[in-house]
Amino acid sequence: EAGVAQSPRYKIIEKRQSVAFWCNPISGHATLYWYQQILGQGPKLLIQFQNNGVVDDSQLPKDRFSAERLKGVDSTLKIQPAKLEDSAVYLCASSPRGANTEAFFGQGTRLTVV
Amino acid sequence: GENVEQHPSTLSVQEGDSAVIKCTYSDSASNYFPWYKQELGKRPQLIIDIRSNVGEKKDQRIAVTLNKTAKHFSLHITETQPEDSAVYFCAASMVTGGSYIPTFGRGTSLIVHP
């Protein structure tokens, strides 16, 4: 079974620039998560989708972060403009619909803002 | 929302010793408690989970206990080996609007000395 795919793996940008991350969840998984993991901390949920609808985005800094999941499959997370404190690993995860089960994580995108 | 506290932040043991990591959660509605292992530079991967209708679960050298009254759960690793060295995250998952929202602890860095 193919896992969660993310790209790019690494990205370095200057502050105030824009960046976008892409995620392709496991086939058939209705729930998709974007997490931000700052070095030395646990993953922090940014946004959760059920199919193409948003379940929770209470911790998403909406003034600069946006995410979409058109057609309920792939998802993109965008930061515009980036700040130094956005440097982190951005993890995408997915899980089956209606099941309180594990989240399967992608390899993540390591973002460095300089 | 849910708040998960995890202790200790760092745990150093000798090979063969046992290791215990403890987590507390705030929302009594949480009913699913997974534990993830994250090796350096890799994605978090589920190692064991427990649901609120079970008090204890064991899988070879790993066990998890849950005390719903006290709202805490623990990970126990016996006969530790150097390959157990990693960061371990607990999580508590609660139901919101029919979907499951997982919240992670800050992580415990386990170091097993040969």
What digits encode the pLDDT tens for the residues B5-24?
A: 999 999 999 999 999 999 99
Instruction: Specify the length of chain A in residues.
Output: 114
Give me chain A's average pLDDT, please: 92
Nearest CA in chain B to A37: B106
Q: Does B10 touch chain A (CB under 8 A)?
A: no
The minimal CB distance from B107 to the residues A42, A45, A103 is found for A42
Contact B43 A106 (CB under 8 A): yes
Going by pLDDT thresholds of 50, 70 and 90, the confidence category of residue B54 is: confident
Q: Does B101 touch chain A (CB under 8 A)?
A: yes
Beta strands of B8-61 (E only): which ranges?
A: 10-14, 19-25, 32-38, 45-51, 56-59
Rounded-to-integer distance, Cα B105 and Cα B114, Å: 27
Rounded-to-integer distance, Cα A27 and Cα A97, Å: 12
pLDDT of B78 > 70? The answer is yes
The minimal CB distance from A58 to the residues B1, B104, B106 is found for B1
Residue-by-residue pLDDT tens, chain A, 114 positions? 579 999 999 999 999 999 999 999 999 898 999 999 998 889 999 999 988 899 889 999 999 999 999 888 999 999 999 999 999 999 999 988 765 677 899 999 999 999
pLDDT, position B1: 76
Q: Are A109 and A4 in contact (CB under 8 A)?
A: no
Number of inter-chain CB pairs under 8 A, A vs B: 58
Burial class (CB in 10 A: 0-12, 13-18, 19+), A109: buried
